Amino acid sequence: MKLTRLQLFWIVATIEIVMAVWLRISPAIAAAKQDAWLSMLAGGLMGLAITFLVVHLSMMHPDESLAEYSQKLLGKWLGKLVILPYLTAWFILAGDVLRTFADFVHLILLDSTPVWIIMLMMLALMIYMTLNGGISGIARFCEIAGPITVGALIFSFLLNLSNIEWHQIKPVYADSGWQAIAAASYPPASFFGESFMLLVLVSYMQKPRKAMSASILGVGITVIFVLAATVMVLLVFGPDVSAKMRFPYFMLVRTIDIFNFIQNLDIFVLFIWVFGVFAKMSFYLFLTSSEMARSTRIPNWRKLVWFSAPLIFVIAALIPNENTIEFLQKLWRLIVIPLCAIGIPLLLWIVTLVRKENSSLKTSS
Residues 6+ apart with CB under 8 A from 69: 61, 348
SS3 of residue 46 by DSSP? helix
* Contact (CB, 8 A) for 291 and 87: yes
Report d(CA 37, CA 181) in Å as an integer: 9
pLDDT digits (tens, 9 = 90+) for 84-139: 999 999 999 899 889 988 888 888 778 888 999 999 999 999 999 999 889 999 99
Report d(CA 101, CA 20) in Å as an integer: 13
> b vs e for 63-78, b when ≥16 Cβ sit within 10 Å of the residue's Cβ?
ebbbbbbbbebbeeee
Q: What's residue 347's pLDDT?
A: 94
* Contact (CB, 8 A) for 64 and 203: yes
- What does the DSSP 8-state code read for residue 170? -
171 prior amide bond cis, ω within 30: yes
Residue 315 CB-half CA count within 13 A:
21
* Contact (CB, 8 A) for 232 and 21: no
Judged against a pLDDT cut of 70, whether residue 9 lies above it is answered with yes
* Contact (CB, 8 A) for 223 and 80: no
pLDDT digits (tens, 9 = 90+) for 133-187: 899 999 999 999 899 888 888 888 888 888 888 888 777 776 667 788 888 888 8
Closest listed residue to residue 42, CA positions, set 237, 212, 258, 186: 186
What is the mean predicted confidence (pLDDT) over 333-346?
92
* Contact (CB, 8 A) for 287 and 200: yes
- Predicted TM-score (pTM) of the model is 0.89
Point out the least confidently predicted range of 3-7, 142-146, 158-162, 285-289: 158-162
Residues 6+ apart with CB under 8 A from 215: 8, 9, 12, 51, 55, 195, 198, 202
- What does the DSSP 8-state code read for residue 321? S
